[in-house]
Amino acid sequence: MADRHLTKLGMGFLAINSLLAVYSSWGDAGAVAFVLAADAALALLFLCLRELERPAGRGGGAGRRGNIKAAVWALTTALTVMFASRVSPLMPAAVAAGVWIVAVATAAGGFWALFLG
């Protein structure tokens, strides 16, 4: 029960923070689109993770769990790429390369942990 309250609190904080981010960047369509896309990906990620936490007997078999794991990996990879693409242009070239190396390593590590490990 406490987990649901924390999830609701986190989603409420995300919504308020996102509204403030959209308000402060209202003239920049790219920034507003970034905030909305990141919020959508995070909301879908939370829904997928909730499905993964369900007992195996409820809500489908191994194929469904595999599809949800693939969605989790795709969403986390998309978020990683989105944030790396926003941060790396602000950095010196060597640091930007490091940001992308860490992003690729994170995506590869997530794939290994979800599907190969």
The residue ranking higher by pLDDT, 57 or 3, is 3
Whether the per-residue pLDDT at 1 is higher than 80: the answer is no
**pLDDT for the residue numbered 18:** 92
pLDDT in tens, 61-92: 678 888 999 999 999 999 999 999 999 999 99
In angstroms, the Cα distances linking 5 to 1, 11, 17, 26, 31 are: 7, 10, 18, 31, 30
pTM value is 0.82
Residue 46 sits at φ, ψ, to 5 deg, of -60, -40
pLDDT in tens, 35-44: 999 999 999 9
The residue ranking higher by pLDDT, 4 or 103, is 103
Q: Average per-residue pLDDT in the chain?
A: 90
